[in-house]
Structure 1
Amino acid sequence: MKAHLMHRDRDFDLKAKLPRNADDLVQDLELDTLFRAMAGEDKFLFEVAKVAILASVGSDAPTILYRQEALKDCIENSGVIRDVYDTVMATIEGRRTRGGLLYLGSYPSGILNHSVELLEGQMEGLQNLRALADANLSRFHSEAFTTLFNTLKEELAGDFMKDVARHLQQMKFRDGILLSATLGDGNKAKSYILRNPSAEKRSWLQRLFGPKEEAYIFQLDPRDDAGARALSELRDRGLNIAANAVAQSAEHILSFLHMLRAELAFYIGCLNLRQRLVAKGEPIAFPVPVDAGERRHHFEGLYDVCLSLSMEKRVVGNDVDAVGKVLTIVTGANTGGKSTFLRSFGLAQLMMQCGMFAPAVSFSANLCDGVFTHYKREEDSSMTSGKFDEELSRMSRIADVLAGNSLVLFNESFAATNDREGSEIAKMIVDVLLKKGIKMVFVTHLYAFAHAYVDGKSDDLMFLRAEREPDGTRTFKLVEAEPLRTSFGQDLYQAVFQDGPRKNAAA
């Protein structure tokens, strides 16, 4: 059996290779906050969330829509999905209470006994899964879950389960084993075959009134250790094939349960995240992905989901219509929400591409082959050169792996040097990427860089500016507007050196 809840035609790979820039994405977009919200204290859910989100960059639209439909089913039937997940977990955990790992390197009799015990527990768990599928199939509409539930119903039918239970009882060999062999060279036994004892048994009437069977019986002396070992070896030779077959069956079912657990874990994480956002009154929407060859970002009420998760109040959302735009330059007042907007942009893109909902009232974007971040870094002991050299080195590493349909998010890049030099370098890099058609969002205080694109503005460029009220109040909203010469640093000066002391004095 296959779960196929994440892909229509293949399993979810929990060991999938993450992008080379995965650590930068986690750091710059604060993805650990998102993973923790999905996982709670569960380390396994955390790992599934991390792999599903980071390794899904480059997913195609059919896969995204396939997962979206499955997630909608999960939202409509969250209690059922959690019951299914708990049943899978209980079945896997039950393996540990039945003696631990299979005795793959032990004697055939030990392998067989242990495997039969494991299979009995697994079949009980599968029976519970089938009962859930029977009771709830009509409530699910996605291809992923209707296929899974129908598979459970068909492959775990009542007659099949009864046959399995009967065979497992037989495999305990409470009445001893019956096997046959032929004589080989030197009168040594070979071609051991385990026989079905029930097929050889006679009814009590046949035993009472029928012809007597000839049999040769021998008994071991209680002190005959060598004979006991020989008899045990003879038994194990007969059980060897059956023991391996039963052990492989137990491992096959366990493999299915582990895969089902991993694929369900993604949706459980999504439900956990949604529960927290809805409790705050934050909107969520299922994104509309468009072809990677287009350049489209259109959204309403887009907010930084990680910021929302870390504070009690709701977060301000932004509306942008960037259809056909390759470069978006974001300028404006300090602490006006520019970096928060940039982070919300990247988070929503990653969430869309793994099949999740987006933190917005509505969201539509073109698919990307890769998502890259180039954020300013604070100088620390791990740096082997200056901040500016480190920025250039990171940009070089990004350039090595950039594909034509990538998204690059710049946050105050190349500001570690003076405005003129930083602006020149930023423009040279952006011009090259523009020629390649690589989509960019660039948050900057480099006026010379931003203004250079005002004079030659084209249809594929957009300018956004963080709003500032005349009295200096930040709305944390971005509006479509060209850059100003000032970023209102005096507001910060006033807040620190004038407003601050007055407030302290009043307190």
Structure 2
Amino acid sequence: MKAYLMYPDQDFDVSAALGKNAKELYQDLELGVILDAMAGGDEFLRDIAGRGLLGILKTPQAIEYRQQILIDCLEQPAVIRQLYSLAVEAIEAEKHVYHSIFSNYPSSVLRTSMESLKILVKVLRKLRQVADDNATSFRSPGFTRFFGMLADQLDDEYFSTIANHLKTLEFRNGVLISAGLGKANQGTNFTLRSPETNQQNWLERLFNQDRSTLTFQISDRDESGFRALAELKDRGINLVANALARADDHILSFFSLLRAELGFYVGALNLREKLSGKGQQICLPKPEAMTAELCLSLCGLCDASLVLTSSRQVVGNDVGGDGKALVMVTGANEGGKSTFLRSVGIAQLMMQAGLFVVATYYSSSVCDGIFTHYKREEDTSLVSGKLDEELARMSAIADEISPNCMLLFNESFAATNEREGSGIARDIVLALLKSRIRVFFVTHLYDLARGLYGQDLPEALFLQAERQDDGKRTFKLVAGEPTATSYGEDLYRKIFTSEVPERVQRA
């Protein structure tokens, strides 16, 4: 049995290694805030949410498959949580099955597997009942197939067959085994046989016993005899014990996968509830195939992590960037540039995870990977200078990145003088564009921004952090050419509540 609720044709591999860029994405995009909201205090859900978010889908078809399942989840949250709780119930109940220290013996394997199967089958019955009650309320191909699979494979005959087998394997009337004599009169070909069905009542069985059967009895004190008999029994039931153990593992594996796959959507429900509590609107993004004509169109896009932590209404941005491989963001300090960059990175990750985004509209070309290069604090160990550290990280990214990826820069290469930093950044940006890598770059390096703006690159979009005449920030980005100032004097007045000294203004 397969759930196929994360992918149309494969299981959700929760043991797969995350990409080498996972740590940087987690740190730079502040994904911990989002994962905490999805987890709701459950560490398992947090891990699953992180794996689902960072294990991006790379085709619009795969994204839309998951989005359709998400729509069903958003419309039927109670059913999804009920299904998830059943998966958890099965796994937790199985943990309480006693596993003997003699678990390698067939008789012990058989007993443990039977106890486990009895528990799991009860939960399977509940799962089938939930499917019967709610299947018609789900429309996505993923859930339609899932409920259809439960109806086909978990029918009444299935449960009846399992019940009969488990009853037979209790061996209430002993174990019927056939065997032959081999070399040196050693027993061979031990085979478990089905017991004969006796239709006689107890009185008939008492007076019609077959006296021709040859039997022998072992003395109560004959420990060696009982040990030999147990060994014969184990040889006879070995095959059926292994088969039952495999069946038990198969059903338990199904519940484990179901828990993981449903856990991702439970996390999405938790996140939706948190965002709704903030009065924040969400939308299902529109993924576009990665072609020569890149797509980027967004309305009301907000930084999801900021929305979850801020007590105030977060300002969204509207950007039309179709056909743009480079988005360069400059302008006023504390004007929302870094927040915008983070909002794009989070939205792209969430879209390619099949989730909703915090916007009224979001459409973008899918990419094969998302990377970040953010400024870092000074190396306190003095192993390397700040610029050396930035270049080392850029080299590591270059080793991993490939065409059709996205790279987000935030105040990169500003650790040296403006001329040198701009030259380094310009060469890197142009090389990335030539390699068909999408670049978002937030910078205060005027030489860099102005130099690229002067090249009239058709694939470049230049945005500014909007500033009103009185110095107030709107936290919105608008299209415009780079300016030579970041309006640092506005911050000076805000902090010191006095005019900027004339010598500073001249500088």
Question: TM bucket by the smaller chain?
Answer: over 0.9
Partner of 2:4: 4
Give the alignment partner of residue 244 of structure 1, picking from 233, 242, 245.
242
Give the alignment partner of residue 190 of structure 1, picking from 188, 192, 202.
188
Give the alignment partner of residue 155 of structure 1, picking from 141, 147, 153.
153
Q: Any idea what SS the aligned residue of 2:477 has? A: strand
Q: Any idea what SS the aligned residue of 1:174 has? A: coil
Matched AA of 1:122:
L
Deviation at 1:425? 1.1
Superposition pairs of residues 257-276 of structure 1, within 5 angstroms: 257-276=255-274
The TM-score normalised by the length of structure 2 is 0.95
CA change 1:104–1:59 in 2 (3 A) is farther
**Structure 2 gap segments, 5+ residues each:** 500-507
Deviation at 1:499? 6.6
Answering whether residue 370 of structure 2 is matched by residue 379 of structure 1, we say no
For the 8 Å contact 1:59–1:354, the answer to whether it is kept is no
Partner of 1:353: 352
Partner of 1:439: 438
CA RMSD, 1 decimal: 1.8
Following the alignment from structure 1 to structure 2, what is the Cα–Cα distance between the partners of residues 32 and 356? 16
Following the alignment from structure 2 to structure 1, what is the Cα–Cα distance between the partners of residues 470 and 494? 12
Partner of 1:464: 463
Following the alignment from structure 2 to structure 1, what is the Cα–Cα distance between the partners of residues 228 and 306? 71
Matched AA of 1:424:
G
Moved over 6 A (4+): none
Following the alignment from structure 1 to structure 2, what is the Cα–Cα distance between the partners of residues 12 and 413? 36
Partner of 1:256: 254
Deviation at 1:98? 2.1
Following the alignment from structure 2 to structure 1, what is the Cα–Cα distance between the partners of residues 110 and 27? 50
For the 8 Å contact 1:388–1:416, the answer to whether it is kept is yes
Superposition pairs of residues 31-430 of structure 1, within 5 angstroms: 31-56=31-56, 59-99=58-98, 101=99, 105-199=103-197, 202=200, 204=202, 207=205, 212-293=210-291, 294-381=293-380, 384-430=383-429
CA change 1:211–1:485 in 2 (3 A) is closer
For the 8 Å contact 1:333–1:487, the answer to whether it is kept is yes
CA change 1:460–1:226 in 2 (3 A) is same
Following the alignment from structure 2 to structure 1, what is the Cα–Cα distance between the partners of residues 172 and 208? 25
Deviation at 1:114? 1.3
Partner of 1:479: 478
Aligned residues: 498
The TM-score normalised by the length of structure 1 is 0.95
Deviation at 1:73? 0.3
Matched AA of 1:77:
Q
Q: Any idea what SS the aligned residue of 2:6 has? A: coil
CA change 1:201–1:381 in 2 (3 A) is farther
Say which is worse superposed, 206-215 or 347-356, in terms of deviation.
206-215
Q: Any idea what SS the aligned residue of 2:456 has? A: coil
Deviation at 1:103? 6.8
Following the alignment from structure 1 to structure 2, what is the Cα–Cα distance between the partners of residues 5 and 404? 29
For the 8 Å contact 1:103–1:114, the answer to whether it is kept is no
Following the alignment from structure 1 to structure 2, what is the Cα–Cα distance between the partners of residues 13 and 46? 15
Following the alignment from structure 1 to structure 2, what is the Cα–Cα distance between the partners of residues 47 and 398? 25
Deviation at 1:141? 0.3
CA change 1:220–1:205 in 2 (3 A) is closer
Following the alignment from structure 1 to structure 2, what is the Cα–Cα distance between the partners of residues 316 and 421? 35
Q: Any idea what SS the aligned residue of 2:371 has? A: strand
Matched AA of 2:12:
F
Following the alignment from structure 1 to structure 2, what is the Cα–Cα distance between the partners of residues 220 and 20? 66
For the 8 Å contact 1:109–1:236, the answer to whether it is kept is yes
Q: Any idea what SS the aligned residue of 2:85 has? A: helix
Q: Provide, for residues 117-145 of structure 1, a one-character-per-residue CA deviation record: whole Å limited to 9, x for no partner.
A: 11000000000000000000000000111
Following the alignment from structure 2 to structure 1, what is the Cα–Cα distance between the partners of residues 270 and 439? 32
Deviation at 1:209? 7.2
Following the alignment from structure 2 to structure 1, what is the Cα–Cα distance between the partners of residues 16 and 404? 21
